[in-house]
Chains A and B, each alone.
Chain A
Amino acid sequence: GAVVSQHPSWVICKSGTSVKIECRSLDFQATTMFWYRQFPKQSLMLMATSNEGSKATYEQGVEKDKFLINHASLTLSTLTVTSAHPEDSSFYICSAYRGPGTEAFFGQGTRLTVV
């Protein structure tokens, strides 16, 4: 099956620093990727839709200047959490579709802890 790889799987950073999370589709091209955030014991909440070669589309309430998304190629999308604070600590997970009518393939997720 299609594979989406996400890196790093976990990261601890100091408050005020920035963290970059990568999401790669390993065996297919993904013109669109999705970034989700999941707080403990909660569901996945869509943060933004990453579009190759154009600006990301952010969900209401998600700060685009804080969560920078870059989709520079058909196989790579990055999410940068800028000036991270403890309240940004969460599980971040990306997904991509191989094509219409198919399931979303998810990365392994990144557990971010801001101290």
Chain B
Amino acid sequence: AQKITQTQPGMFVQEKEAVTLDCTYDTSDQSYGLFWYKQPSSGEMIFLIYQGSYDEQNATEGRYSLNFQKARKSANLVISASQLGDSAMYFCAMRYNNNDMRFGAGTRLTVKP
């Protein structure tokens, strides 16, 4: 069965520091995509970063980077220089060959001033 696991229900980080949000996955598919989304209290889903299973380099988008370790089946999100506006729910998601996207349980990040 294909599964996305986020083991951290909540995380705290001091403003301006970096934080890593964990995500592991399980799939037998060779081709898949890994995504991170941010969901503030408004409910909208904000795309942050994407990593393809065949991408050799870790994806980066501004302050976001994805630590992709294919052999370990992990795709951790690193947020550098945290800002107060980063406080939100963060979801790791996986897109399978049939185009379904499944989500992990999410991690609530709180940035402390």
- CB neighbors of B among A6-47 (8 A): 32, 34, 38, 42-46
A93 to chain B, nearest CB (A): 7
Residue-wise, chain B 87-113 has the 8 Å CB interface mask toward A (1 for contact) of 000010101000111111110000000
Q: Does more than half of chain B's interface fall in helix, strand or loop, or is it mixed?
A: strand
Across the interface, B103 reaches (CB within 8 A) one of A44, A49, A109, namely A44
**Is A58 part of the binding interface, using a Cβ–Cβ cutoff of 8 Å?**
no
* Complex contacts, B103 vs chain A, CB 8 Å: 43-45
Contact indicator A93/B52 (Cβ below 8 Å): no
**Is A67 part of the binding interface, using a Cβ–Cβ cutoff of 8 Å?**
no
Contact indicator B99/A32 (Cβ below 8 Å): yes
**Is A95 part of the binding interface, using a Cβ–Cβ cutoff of 8 Å?**
yes
Q: How big is the B interface, by class? A: 20 to 34
Q: How many A-B residue pairs have CB under 8 A?
A: 46
* Complex contacts, A43 vs chain B, CB 8 Å: 91, 103-106
Q: Pick from A44, A95, A106, A111 the residue with the most CB of B within 10 Å.
A: A44
B51 to chain A, nearest CB (A): 11
Which residue on chain B has the smallest CB distance to residue A102? Answer: B50
Q: Pick from B35, B44, B45 the residue with the most CB of A within 10 Å.
A: B45
Across the interface, B47 reaches (CB within 8 A) one of A101, A103, A111, namely A103
Contact indicator B43/A91 (Cβ below 8 Å): yes
Residue-wise, chain A 39-65 has the 8 Å CB interface mask toward B (1 for contact) of 000111110010000000000000000
- CB neighbors of A among B52-73 (8 A): 52
By a beta-carbon cutoff of 8 Å, the part of chain B in contact with chain A is 33, 35, 37, 43-45, 47, 50, 52, 91, 93, 95, 99-106
Q: List the 7 closest A-B pairs by CB distance, nearest first.
A: A106-B45, A109-B43, A103-B47, A44-B103, A43-B103, A43-B105, A43-B106
